[in-house]
Amino acid sequence: MKSYIKAIIIFNKNGEKRVVPLEQGVNIITGESKTGKSALVEIIDYCLCSTRCTIPKGKITDFSYLYTLVMAIDDNTYVIARYNWDDGSKMHFSKEAKGFEPENLELSYFVEKPALPYKDVKNEIECALGLFVTNMATDADQQGKKASLRNMVSYLFQHQNLMASKFALFYRFSDFYKRKDVIDQFPVFAGMISQEYYSDLIQLNTLKAQLKQKYKKQKANEKSTAYIKENLSPLLTDYFALLEQDFDGKISVQKMLKIASDLPEFDDTQLFGENKIAERYSELNAVLENLRNEEREILLKIKNIDNAFDTGSSFTQMLKDLKQQTSIAEIETGEYTCPLCGHECKEIAENDSKLIEATEWLDNELRITEKYTSDFSEDVRKLKEAHSKIDEKIRDVWKQIKTIEEKFISSKVLVSKREKVNYAKARIALYAEMSSSGIFETVDGDIEELKEKIARLEEKIKGFDVDKKMSKAESFLSNNMNRLSLMLDFEEEYRPIDLNFGLTDGSFDIYQHQKSNENIHLYEMGSGANWVSCHIALFLSFLRFFATQDNSPMPLVMFFDQPSQVYFPQGNDKDEITQADLIAVNKMYKTIFDEINSIGEDTGILPQIIIVDHVDGKNLECKEEFERYIRCNWRNDTGLI
């Protein structure tokens, strides 16, 4: 995007104005100290809707009534004006033609222009730049945060106290939340992603949350299905047995409920036959007997394990007692001699050997018994768990048997078979009605549909390829920094230069990778020359990077405040300026000039850099080029005001 500041204009209440004309490419405002040079970046920041005014109080604030920024964005010119801090919440914003000349702007221009809240003007500037990401949340429940013009300025400004700092690279990174937002919004500023990306992420996470709920519902349905099948199947089996018919208990719950809602009617021809219910009764008793056999086997296993554990524990304790009783002092010799005759006593040595073997055997037995006795607890737990399940089945089968006995075989209330059938039918109808009251809302189809939508969205989001783009951007910045560093002033101990910028890891820090595989961070480097060179290399690389990105909304504007300060501190006697310092400053400015023009040639868009410095360039080798770029020279009692 073609964007640059055409002019900075300050009006007083009487309509007097102070104009700082600016152009595309390099702009130098040079002058003595206390002439208002460093106030320019604060005025730009203020007009770009800062929530506070950091314009130095004094001559400038006493004079000012309205601060104005005339800015070109693509084929339009925008006039952005803000009243002094006493009325700083009010601003003006208007769009003019491409050829609008800032020199013709007067205070009367704003009389007919509506005063807008500064937040509204911020939105207007963002729209003009093409910054349309209004919700960077990734979840529908998160509070939305928009990509902001206010976070862009961290990539645009290098203040005087920041330009050669070893501890900070970016404007206002001391604020944790500001830092996080600036870092998080880089892919937006680079044009890698748009609002569509975040909207898709929100939709994706919403669908994933819905899928999770559907899985929970499916799991609940499975549990309900198993429970209902377990209870409804015997009721239907009993009913069909009374009708002298077979029933397949292996069918699905849905089919069971369908059968339960449309049961076959009792036929008078079935009035006297009760063979099926008797068979059903016998089958249940056989099932009960098998379950009891299984129960006995499990209880026997538990008892055997308990006995084995007790026996093993007793044996272990016996071995421990034996070890304690037979413990001996450490054998320090392998040969014994008789104190009387002086002959060797081989028997004692043999006994020592046997005692050592016995002790080793005892230790080994202790290890084995302790291992196996400690392993029984998990076996017992599993067996008790199995017994609990069998016990539950026994109770259920026993309940079915008692129901058949009481209601269908020896019932004194339900005498006729018709009464027994109607009773069974009523139980089924009641249970079926309770079971189908919304419990079986099928979710299988919903799950498949959600999975398809999620897969499509994931593929679409994958197409943005953010990680790959970020990795490429990191390489781009590092490579360009190293290219620029060849001309900048770095100490020899850091050469060959291998600067890296932590973009993908979110550190946003510079470090030098040494041949010894050691990483030296900016805050670990010595010398102001290294610090300022790192700042210049990085932010010129940012400027080139944003210029190469077709969809980037970032203004192609950079502000350097006093880059030569580490070489020419204000107030130093000129005799103290060394030839080496002059060479370093010349290389620094030449690098800036060449890089700005190179970006214009390579991208077709000439970016803007505004440099304020007390260096006048007369002693530099590139003085002719330096002088061409001077827009204001505030010396001999001249200045911004």
Q: What is the pLDDT of residues 430-474, one digit of tens each?
A: 666 655 555 555 677 889 999 999 999 999 999 999 999 999 999
Is the same domain home to 262 and 214? yes
Give the number of other Cβ atoms within 10 Å of residue 354's Cβ: 10
pLDDT band at residue 415 under the 50/70/90 scheme: very low
pLDDT of residue 413: 44
Angle among Cα 384, 385, 389 to the nearest 5 degrees reads 115
E strands present in 116-266: 116-117, 157-158
CA distance 617 to 473: 34
- Does residue 112 sit within a domain? yes
DSSP string, 541-602: HHHHHHHH-TT-----EEEEE-TTTTTS-TT--GGG--HHHHHHHHHHHHHHHHHHHHHHHH
- Does residue 321 sit within a domain? yes
Is the same domain home to 593 and 507? yes
Contacts of 17 (CB under 8 A, 6+ apart): 9, 10, 11, 105, 106, 107
Of 160-174, 248-262, 313-327, highest mean pLDDT: 160-174
Contacts of 226 (CB under 8 A, 6+ apart): none
399, 432, 464: which is the final residue of a domain?
Answer: 464
Q: What is the mean pLDDT of residues 207-222?
A: 87
Among the residue ranges 17-31, 85-99, 311-325, 508-522, the one predicted with the least confidence is 311-325
Of 17-31, 132-146, 565-579, highest mean pLDDT: 17-31
Is the same domain home to 476 and 573? yes
Domains of the chain: total: 3
- Does residue 142 sit within a domain? no
pLDDT of residue 269: 44
- Does residue 139 sit within a domain? no
- Chain mean position to CA 97: 44
Among the residue ranges 15-24, 189-198, 416-425, 588-597, the one predicted with the least confidence is 416-425
Phi/psi at 316 (5° precision): -60, -45
pLDDT above 90 for 133: yes
CATH of the domain at 586: 3.40.50.300
413, 434, 452: which is the final residue of a domain?
Answer: 413
Is the same domain home to 303 and 342? yes
pLDDT above 80 for 329: no
Is the same domain home to 11 and 107? yes
Q: What is the mean pLDDT of residues 379-389?
A: 83
CA distance 23 to 8: 11
Q: What is the mean pLDDT of residues 104-119?
A: 96
Of 340-349, 397-406, 511-520, highest mean pLDDT: 511-520
On average, the pLDDT of the chain sits at 86
- Does residue 246 sit within a domain? yes
pLDDT of residue 349: 65
Helix (H, G, I), strand (E, B) or coil at 360: helix
**Nearest one of 35, 11, 36, 8 to 22, comparing CA atoms:** 8
Cα distances (Å, whole numbers) of residue 294 to 291, 387, 394, 398: 5, 9, 10, 15
Q: What is the mean pLDDT of residues 588-608?
A: 98
- Does residue 619 sit within a domain? yes
pLDDT above 60 for 273: no
pLDDT of residue 407: 62
pLDDT digits (tens, 9 = 90+) for 490-538: 988 888 999 999 999 999 999 999 888 889 999 999 889 999 999 999 9
- 304-328 as b/e, with b when 16 or more CB fall inside 10 Å? eeeeebeebeeebeebeeeeeeeee
- Does residue 338 sit within a domain? yes
Q: How many residues are present in the chain?
A: 641
* Residue 241 domain boundaries: 194-269+416-464
448, 464, 480: which is the final residue of a domain?
Answer: 464
pLDDT of residue 520: 94
Is the same domain home to 260 and 324? no
Helix (H, G, I), strand (E, B) or coil at 5: strand
Is the same domain home to 348 and 443? no
pLDDT band at residue 573 under the 50/70/90 scheme: very low
Is the same domain home to 244 and 311? no
pLDDT of residue 165: 96
Q: What is the mean pLDDT of residues 281-287?
A: 85
Cα distances (Å, whole numbers) of residue 592 to 28, 259, 600: 12, 86, 13
- Amino acid symbol at 600: G
- Does residue 378 sit within a domain? yes
State if pTM tops 0.75: no
pLDDT of residue 470: 98
Give the number of other Cβ atoms within 10 Å of residue 371's Cβ: 10
Is the same domain home to 259 and 235? yes
pLDDT of residue 117: 97
Q: What is the mean pLDDT of residues 97-122?
A: 96
Q: What is the mean pLDDT of residues 550-561?
A: 98
Q: Which residue has the higher pLDDT, 339 or 79?
A: 79
- Amino acid symbol at 10: I
CB 182 within 8 A of CB 170: yes
* Residue 261 in tokens: 């809602």
pLDDT above 60 for 416: no
Helix (H, G, I), strand (E, B) or coil at 632: strand
Give the DSSP H or E segment for 72.
strand 66-73
CA distance 2 to 606: 8
DSSP string, 411-479: -SS--SHHHHHHHHHHHHHHHHHHHTSSTT---HHHHHHHHHHHHHHHHHHHHH-HHHHHHHHHHHHHH
User: In this prediction, what percent of the chain has a pLDDT beyond 70?
Assistant: 83
Is the same domain home to 529 and 593? yes
Is the same domain home to 67 and 19? yes
User: In this prediction, what percent of the chain has a pLDDT beyond 90?
Assistant: 60
pLDDT band at residue 326 under the 50/70/90 scheme: low
pLDDT of residue 458: 96
Is the same domain home to 198 and 218? yes
